């Protein structure tokens, strides 16, 4: 049966594709009601973030761990039996899930190597000039301002591009979004 529902298409600036809304995580804080990047890209970006910010993430969780040590200890002491029973029950009930999680963790270790650098490094290299429209980018503007700085993967990650300095450049967020219909070869680069 034909559905009367309109399919909303959302443009993902990361993979440069228009996708149905179901391909995006919902985000109540954003104007569209959906996250900026599609689920696939979001995962890739998250892994990149985790890879490039490994030390900060480790330090943060270490601090948290240390700060809540006492509380946690008390809690475990009080709930020892429940916890044991719960863990056992959980691993039985969610066996597949636990296994899959394990596998994903191992797979992540072998995913394409990503260079560690932060956005600012690229923005500075590009002299705060948008590599698409060749106009200045105001470093004080923050996402989601259309003129805010945005990191663009010249060859999209979804098309086999890597997260390397060479494959990244500074663009305005709006230029990134407008790039949709342009092919990579049409881009001119300043450096």
141, 172 in Cβ contact below 8 A?
A: no
- Length of the chain counted residue by residue: 191
CB atoms within 10 A of CB 175: 22
Does 172 sit near Zn ion (CB under 5 A)? yes
Of 105-144, which residues contact Zn ion (CB under 5 A)?
Answer: 130, 132-133
Q: Are strands 168-172 and 9-12 parallel, antiparallel or unpaired?
A: unpaired
Please say whether the dihedral angle defined by the alpha carbons of residues 185, 130, 124 and 190, taken in this order, is positive or negative. positive
- Count the site residues for Zn ion by CB under 5 A: 10
Does 23 sit near Zn ion (CB under 5 A)? no
How far apart are the C-alpha atoms of 105 and 101, rounded to whole Å? Answer: 6
Q: Which residue's CB is nearer to Zn ion, number 52 or number 187?
A: 187
Does 41 sit near Zn ion (CB under 5 A)? yes
Does 15 sit near Zn ion (CB under 5 A)? yes
**Shortest Å distance, C-beta 180 to Zn ion:** 12
Residues that bind Zn ion (CB under 5 A): 12, 14-15, 38, 41, 130, 132-133, 172, 175
């Amino acid at each position: 049966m034909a559905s009367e529902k309109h399919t909303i298409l959302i443009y993902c600036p990361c993979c440069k594709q228009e996708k149905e809304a179901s391909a995006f995580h919902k985000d109540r804080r954003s104007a569209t009601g959906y996250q900026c990047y599609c689920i696939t890209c979001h995962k890739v970006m998250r892994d990149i973030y985790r890879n490039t910010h490994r030390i900060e993430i480790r330090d943060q969780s270490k601090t948290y761990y240390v700060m809540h040590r006492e509380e946690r200890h008390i809690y475990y002491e009080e709930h020892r039996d429940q916890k044991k029973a719960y863990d056992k029950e959980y691993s039985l009930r969610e066996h597949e899930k636990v296994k899959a999680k394990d596998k994903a963790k191992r797979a992540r270790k072998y995913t394409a190597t990503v260079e560690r650098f932060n956005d600012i490094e690229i923005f500075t290299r590009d002299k705060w000039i948008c590599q698409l429209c060749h106009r200045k980018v105001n470093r004080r503007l923050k996402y989601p301002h259309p003129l805010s700085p945005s990191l663009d993967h010249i060859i999209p990650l979804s098309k086999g591009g890597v997260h390397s300095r060479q494959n990244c450049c500074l663009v305005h967020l709006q230029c990134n979004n407008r790039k949709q219909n342009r092919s990579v070869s049409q881009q001119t680069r300043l450096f």
